[in-house]
Amino acid sequence: MVSATDVSDALALIVGELAANAVTHGPVPGRDFALPLTRLAAGVRVEVTDTRTEPPYPPAFGGVGTPGPLDECGRGLLLVEVLADRWEVMDREPPGKTVRAEVGVDRGCEGH
């Protein structure tokens, strides 16, 4: 059974990873990133939008590789892949991208 705490922890890790990626890999001078959270009927959606157009792309698109055992980075999107019920990367206009991840809140935690 998945508890509300498990969902909250998953969301915290996903938000932290996507925000860190936007700060580290997505900055363009004079532009920030956006991070809205949306309550859905069956979960929560996290969206992080920045002004870079480069990947990350979900594994379905061949973009997230497996880091080596001694690599210091490259595991964050693998965490998102494991923790999110679904995630995707969308191009946006003006140039940029949005990384969207959704976590189901109603995954067996009724009454908690």
Reported as a single tens digit per residue, the pLDDT across 99-109 is 999 998 655 44
Which residues of 8-73 form beta strands (DSSP E)? 37-40, 43-50
Reported as a single tens digit per residue, the pLDDT across 3-41 is 778 888 999 999 999 998 888 877 777 777 899 999 999
Reported as a single tens digit per residue, the pLDDT across 36-67 is 999 999 889 999 998 877 665 554 444 556 66
30, 36, 70, 111 from 100: Cα distances, Å: 23, 10, 28, 27
pLDDT the model gives residue 97: 87
How would residue 84 be classed by pLDDT, with cut points 50, 70 and 90?
very high
Residue tagged 């936007």 (tokens): 22
